[in-house]
Amino acid sequence: MNEEALVENIQNLLKEKKYSELKDILQDMNPADISALFNELPKDRIPLLFRLLPKVLAAEVFVEMESDSQEMLIKGFSDNELKEVLDELYLDDAVDIVEEMPANVVKRIISNTDDTTRKMINEILKYPEDSAGSIMTIEYVSLRPNQTAEEAIKRIRRTGIDKETIYTCYVTDDNRVLIGALSIKDLLLADEDAIVKDLMDTNLVFAHTLEDQEAVANKFNKYDLLAIPVVDDENRLVGIVTFDDAIDVMQDEATEDIKKMAAIIPNDKTYFKTNVFETWKARIPWLLLLMVSATFTGMIITSYESALSKYIVLSSYIPMLMDTGGNSGSQASVTVIRALSLDEVEFSDIFKVIWKEARVAILCGLTLAVCNFAKLLLIDGIKVELAATVCMTLVLVVFFAKIIGCSLPILAKKIGFDPAVMASPFITTIVDAISLLVYFKIATIVLHI
């Protein structure tokens, strides 16, 4: 059944008050699909449908919902209902929800959780946004080094139900210091009498609570992990980040980079969840800034007005030179920005990068110049001096564009700026100005104007 037919079906059943049929349909669906379905239905039907869901599924659906729907539901919940949902949530999901809610809703949530959970939520809320601490959960399985495999499995069976993942277990000493990890696969495939400390892997990949979430996500990718333990300054285990959160981080960071590269201030919402005014607010600052900086380009043209009026045909090659420069520069900058994000390039590589881009630039510039020279003479039929002016400019523009494009993002990262902001629009503005200066300089020399 496709989505539209499903929505219609649900609406009909709602109208006819066939609640038990609705219940049957819903409880066979995936949480993510139910949440998507809720988005398609009138808002006032959601509480009714939500109450038809079995307890565990209800909590899973709740986590998947948009924060405005969550808020509406919480406001309609009795204290008892709220408690029931909260009890079923994993701690990191509860924290995510708390972070999105207005203060009065947060107050109600906090007053309906037990003391331990409240303390834990507050603990996680303390960590800075986008840090490993802020995305971790503290519901992990911890084992002691001297347990046998059998005892460990028993412990997991007894306590595992509330843990977000039981697949990687962490071994800590008496001071809660992380000393090893082992997977449940290792435990299950080991001898029953084998000792945890002999089975465990001591060569651990871990994150610090304050580490940037993007760096943590890159570790998942590099080491193919299901979960990463998070430790504090004393190497004590305080939580774990699971792969599903890492996947979210990766997708969000890629989206964020892409938006910044296109001169948009990123936010966390999906396309249709961002309203027109918010979209305007995300886009207008850079447009304004770039408009103002493009004025400099205009000023350069103005200052060569007399040269231009003598050789008006010069102006018809300005767009081509500017666009080619912009495109060349953004090719270099975008490639380098992505490589920086994926930890393929570091600051110490800057000269290696520049050397590479310089050679690529010369190859590209010459190819473009040769093709363009032929075209200018054969198709446009302009004078050789003029064609030479345009093509020499082309080579230089591509060269400058690539060098600036590749080095600015690396320098930006070094001084703590976001490299993604140094992408095409920003580079384009700089390259435009340089292109024109070079163009007019060469023109005045070659054409004697």
Residues 286-315 interacting with a copy of itself (rule: CB under 8 A): 286-288, 290-292, 294-295, 297-299, 301-302, 305, 308-309, 312-313, 315
185 part of the interface to a copy of itself, by CB under 8 A:
yes
Binding residues for a copy of itself restricted to 386-405, rule: CB under 8 A = 398
Q: C-alpha 314: how far from its chain's center?
A: 44
Taking the least distance from each CB to a copy of itself, the nearer of 105 and 225 is 225
- Shortest distance, CB of residue 97 to a copy of itself, whole angstroms? 16
Taking the C-alpha atoms of residue 310 and residue 258, their distance in angstroms, rounded to an integer, is 43
- Shortest distance, CB of residue 43 to a copy of itself, whole angstroms? 18
Three-state DSSP string of the chain: CCHHHHHHHHHHHHHCCCHHHHHHHHHCCCHHHHHHHHHHCCHHHHHHHHHHCCHHHHHHHHHHCCHHHHHHHHHHCCHHHHHHHHHHCCHHHHHHHHHHCCHHHHHHHHHCCCHHHHHHHHHHHCCCCCEHHHHCECCCCEECCCCEHHHHHHHHHHHHHHCCCCCEEEEECCCCEEEEEEEHHHHHHCCCCCEHHHHCECCCCCEECCCEHHHHHHHHHHHCCCEEEEECCCCEEEEEEEHHHHHHHHHHHHHHHHHHHCCCCCCCCCCCCCCHHHHHHHHHHHHHHHHHHHHHHHHHHHHCHHHHHHCHHHHHHHHHHHHHHHHHHHHHHHHHHHHHHCCCCCHHHHHHHHHHHHHHHHHHHHHHHHHHHHHHHHHHCCCHHHHHHHHHHHHHHHHHHHHHHHHHHHHHHHCCCCHHHHCHHHHHHHHHHHHHHHHHHHHHHHCCC
Taking the least distance from each CB to a copy of itself, the nearer of 41 and 362 is 362
* Residue from the set 316, 347, 383, 414 that interacts with a copy of itself by CB under 8 A: 316
* Residue from the set 432, 438, 439, 443 that interacts with a copy of itself by CB under 8 A: 432
Half-sphere exposure of 96 (CA within 13 A, CB side): 19
Tell me which stretch binds a copy of itself (CB under 8 A): 72-80, 96-104, 126-134, 184-192: 184-192
Taking the C-alpha atoms of residue 197 and residue 172, their distance in angstroms, rounded to an integer, is 10
Structure tokens at 392: 């020499």
Binding residues for a copy of itself restricted to 144-163, rule: CB under 8 A = 153, 156-157, 160-161
Binding residues for a copy of itself restricted to 330-389, rule: CB under 8 A = 330-331, 333-336, 338-339, 342, 344-345, 349, 352-353, 356, 359-360, 363-364, 367-368, 371-372, 375
Residue 331 sits at φ, ψ, to 5 deg, of -55, -50
- Shortest distance, CB of residue 428 to a copy of itself, whole angstroms? 6
54 part of the interface to a copy of itself, by CB under 8 A:
no
23 part of the interface to a copy of itself, by CB under 8 A:
no
Residue type, 213: Q
Taking the least distance from each CB to a copy of itself, the nearer of 124 and 308 is 308
327 part of the interface to a copy of itself, by CB under 8 A:
yes
- Shortest distance, CB of residue 47 to a copy of itself, whole angstroms? 24
* Residue from the set 193, 234, 272, 416 that interacts with a copy of itself by CB under 8 A: 272
Taking the least distance from each CB to a copy of itself, the nearer of 134 and 165 is 165
436 part of the interface to a copy of itself, by CB under 8 A:
yes
Beta carbons within 8 Å of 421's beta carbon, 6+ residues apart? 260, 412
- Shortest distance, CB of residue 2 to a copy of itself, whole angstroms? 11
Structure tokens at 158: 């007894």
264 part of the interface to a copy of itself, by CB under 8 A:
yes
Taking the least distance from each CB to a copy of itself, the nearer of 76 and 160 is 160
Taking the least distance from each CB to a copy of itself, the nearer of 48 and 313 is 313
Taking the least distance from each CB to a copy of itself, the nearer of 77 and 96 is 96
* Residue from the set 59, 239, 425, 443 that interacts with a copy of itself by CB under 8 A: 425
* Residue from the set 248, 442, 444, 449 that interacts with a copy of itself by CB under 8 A: 248
Taking the C-alpha atoms of residue 321 and residue 304, their distance in angstroms, rounded to an integer, is 16
Taking the C-alpha atoms of residue 42 and residue 32, their distance in angstroms, rounded to an integer, is 18
56 part of the interface to a copy of itself, by CB under 8 A:
no
* Residue from the set 48, 56, 125, 247 that interacts with a copy of itself by CB under 8 A: 247
Print the binding letters for residues 186-225 with a copy of itself: x by CB under 8 A, - otherwise: --xx------------xx-x--------------xxxxx-
Taking the least distance from each CB to a copy of itself, the nearer of 51 and 269 is 269
* Residue from the set 52, 106, 194, 254 that interacts with a copy of itself by CB under 8 A: 254
Number of residues that bind a copy of itself (CB under 8 A): 110
- Shortest distance, CB of residue 107 to a copy of itself, whole angstroms? 29
Binding residues for a copy of itself restricted to 77-116, rule: CB under 8 A = none
